[in-house]
Amino acid sequence: MEDLRKEQLEALQAMLDYIPKLRKGMETVAKELSGERLADTNEYLKKVIEGLNWVIEVYNGTSALINEKENNLDKAAVNKACVDFSSAYKNGDSATQAELLTGVLMSFICNLETVAKAVSI
């Protein structure tokens, strides 16, 4: 049991190290989606999606530990945003993708970072 907790704390720390980079990537690609796309916007977007997926995987694997302290992460809203984002991505709806990246998904990432910091201390 103690080994699992240690592994979860290590995963949270890795996630905390990564989240600032992900936030920056989300902001940058959202600007590109909202305005003038660059030659590498689609590739950049794919990397941001991979990063979001990884953070969500870490959250899912550590949610029991995270929820010991607080449970103020709206998982239902994030799930809906992920479904909506997937649909917008498939349909090429750049405006909706940008809106979700800077709205619900960014809020989730920021809240998750705050909660994970509290757990990791």
If DSSP codes are grouped into helix, strand and coil, which group holds residue 118? helix
| pTM greater than 0.85 | yes
Could you give the CA distance from residue 26 to residue 72 in angstroms, rounded to a whole number? 22
Which tens digit of pLDDT belongs to each residue from 85-114?
999 999 999 999 999 999 999 999 999 999
Report the pLDDT averaged over residues 27-47: 96
Which tens digit of pLDDT belongs to each residue from 47-84?
999 999 999 999 999 998 888 866 778 889 999 999 99
Nearest one of 111, 110, 101, 85 to 31, comparing CA atoms = 101
What's the pLDDT score for residue 96?
Answer: 97
